[in-house]
Amino acid sequence: MSAPTYGRVALIGLGLIASSMYWAIKRNGALAGEVTGYARSEATRATARRIGLCDRVCDSVAEAVQGADLVVLCVPVGAMGAVAEEIAPLLKPGATVTDVGSVKRDVIQSVGPHIPEGVFFIPGHPLAGTEHSGPESGFAELFDNRWCLLVPVEGTPDDPVARLRALWEGMGAHVDLMDPDHHDLVLAVTSHTPHLIAYTMVGVADDLRRVTDSEVIKYSAAGFRDFTRIAASDPTMWRDVFLTNKDATLEILGRFTEELFALQRAIRTGDGDHLHAYFTRTRAIRRGIIQAGQDTDAPDFGRGKVAKT
Ligand SMILES: NC(=O)c1ccc[n+]([C@@H]2O[C@H](COP(=O)([O-])OP(=O)(O)OC[C@H]3O[C@@H](n4cnc5c(N)ncnc54)[C@H](O)[C@@H]3O)[C@@H](O)[C@H]2O)c1
Ligand SMILES: O=C(O)C(=O)C[C@]1(C(=O)O)C=C[C@@H](O)C=C1
């Protein structure tokens, strides 16, 4: 059997992503010699022990990080800096620190200054998740065929990046490298603003509850149901995403509202051509994604082509 990618991996914050990483590492036993885990709440640590999450659940962050070759910060983006400050003096020379946060520029600014000389810092972001959170929500297949973006800070040598890439690939993901600002802009379009829209739509439906007598829930069609799934995502995580990816989200939200006003106007003025042209353009985008084989969840994935009208 080949040597493990890392001798010891420490997972800090035992929620959806950390627990999925643990099960994915265990599925491919060659990835880590030992996985330690730490959660700040005693209840979370007790749950982790009960379900066999991590080879060793530690009662202090110091014990979890001690001797680790890789430390993965799996806490909300707003908590990354404080956790990094706490673990900094405990890090082994030559170790790598990474994170899984949904925003990258802010994590680089809050974590970077605490990373000691001789320790590598390679921020990361797996583009995979669900609306569930906590130690019991993880599963080994979460990262299969998903992207994981790595955002190495300037001057990071190739070897530690290649090693972290091997870990993510071993957990089933495809890996790309990206600049942090570009990451934050892309994710504002593909993830952050869509979440805000889902939160808003469900909030609007809730405001109308009395008017509709709960019929929006009873008769919710597939589109709205997808919104409710997204809007059930963890409030702390998403509060931090919007507070830390403020500029990119506001930029995309500005463009979104402009387009929305144009569509609103087309509806009011009965401009069917505008609506039809707009929807034709957006449908082509969806079809392009499916034809490029980039949406493995789509019901029409693998059929090779989609119906023409
Ligand atoms: N959920 C997703 O879809 C998803 C996908 C990709 C990346 N992420 C990112 O991964 C990270 C973890 O998300 P998750 O979905 O696993 O969350 P989660 O809520 O399931 O788990 C987060 C863990 O961090 C702990 N924690 C919270 N605040 C803390 C603090 N101040 N100090 C120490 N520990 C603290 C919680 O107790 C919990 O154990 C976040 O940064 C998030 O942006 C989430
Ligand atoms: O599928 C979901 O539930 C998600 O929202 C996952 C999702 C996304 O927007 O795709 C959410 C946040 C992450 O940072 C990465 C993935």
List strand residue ranges (DSSP E) for 4-121, in order: 6-12, 32-38, 56-58, 70-73, 96-99, 120-121
* Residue with more model confidence, 52 or 287: 52
Note the pLDDT of residue 221.
78
**CATH number for 233:** 1.10.3660.10
Which one of 41-50, 197-206, 213-222 scores highest in mean pLDDT? 41-50
Note the pLDDT of residue 233.
96
Query: Residues 136, 36: one domain?
Result: yes
Note the pLDDT of residue 178.
97
Nearest bound ligand to the CA of residue 74? 1
Pick the atom of ligand 1 nearest to 241's CA. Answer: 43
Q: Considering the domain boundaries, does residue 297 fall inside one?
A: no
Note the pLDDT of residue 305.
34
Question: Exposure of 299 by Cβ count < 10 A (0-12 exposed, 13-18 middle, 19+ buried)?
Answer: exposed
**CATH number for 105:** 3.40.50.720
Query: Residues 38, 127: one domain?
Result: yes
The Å distance, Cα 295 to ligand 2 centre, comes to: 14
Q: Is the CB of 39 under 6 A from ligand 1?
A: yes
The total number of structural domains that make up the chain: 2
- Of 148, 178, 208, which residue sits at a domain end? 178
- Ligand 2 pocket, Cβ-based, cut-off 6 angstroms: 102, 127-131, 191, 230
pLDDT in tens, 143-182: 999 999 999 998 999 999 999 999 999 999 999 999 999 9
Q: Considering the domain boundaries, does residue 305 fall inside one?
A: no
Query: Residues 172, 40: one domain?
Result: yes
Q: Considering the domain boundaries, does residue 27 fall inside one?
A: yes
Query: Residues 257, 114: one domain?
Result: no
Reported as a pLDDT band with limits 50, 70 and 90, residue 30 is confident
Q: Report d(CA 151, CA 158) in Å as an integer.
A: 12
- Of 143, 178, 213, which residue sits at a domain end? 178
Nearest bound ligand to the CA of residue 15? 1
Nearest bound ligand to the CA of residue 130? 2
CA proximity to 171, closest of 64, 30, 9: 30
Q: Is the CB of 21 under 6 A from ligand 1?
A: no
Q: Report d(CA 83, CA 18) in Å as an integer.
A: 15
Q: Considering the domain boundaries, does residue 301 fall inside one?
A: no
Query: Residues 49, 93: one domain?
Result: yes
Query: Residues 174, 27: one domain?
Result: yes
- Over 50: is that where the pLDDT of 304 sits? no
The Å distance, Cα 119 to ligand 1 centre, comes to: 23
Structural domain span for residue 228:
182-270
pLDDT in tens, 275-298: 999 999 999 988 888 777 766 555
Query: Residues 134, 192: one domain?
Result: no
Q: Report d(CA 244, CA 235) in Å as an integer.
A: 14
Pick the atom of ligand 1 nearest to 134's CA. Answer: 20
Pick the atom of ligand 1 nearest to 100's CA. Answer: 10
List strand residue ranges (DSSP E) for 62-183, in order: 70-73, 96-99, 120-121, 124-126, 147-150, 174-177
Q: Is the CB of 87 under 6 A from ligand 1?
A: no
Q: Report d(CA 104, CA 183) in Å as an integer.
A: 7
Q: Is the CB of 102 under 6 A from ligand 1?
A: yes
| Closest residue CA from atom 15 of ligand 2 | 127
The Å distance, Cα 264 to ligand 1 centre, comes to: 37
Q: What is the mean pLDDT of residues 246-274?
A: 97
- Of 116, 150, 178, which residue sits at a domain end? 178
- Over 70: is that where the pLDDT of 83 sits? yes
Pick the atom of ligand 1 nearest to 14's CA. Answer: 39
First to last CA, the chain: 54
User: What ipTM was predicted for this assembly?
Assistant: 0.98
Give the tokens for residue 150.
Answer: 């790595």
Note the pLDDT of residue 1.
53
Q: Considering the domain boundaries, does residue 63 fall inside one?
A: yes
Handedness of CA 232, 234, 238, 239 (dihedral sign): positive
Question: Exposure of 291 by Cβ count < 10 A (0-12 exposed, 13-18 middle, 19+ buried)?
Answer: middle
Query: Residues 22, 171: one domain?
Result: yes
Q: Considering the domain boundaries, does residue 300 fall inside one?
A: no
Query: Residues 22, 40: one domain?
Result: yes
Query: Residues 168, 195: one domain?
Result: no
Query: Residues 188, 142: one domain?
Result: no
- Over 90: is that where the pLDDT of 246 sits? yes
| Closest residue CA from atom 42 of ligand 1 | 101
Query: Residues 187, 170: one domain?
Result: no
Pick the atom of ligand 2 nearest to 229's CA. Answer: 3
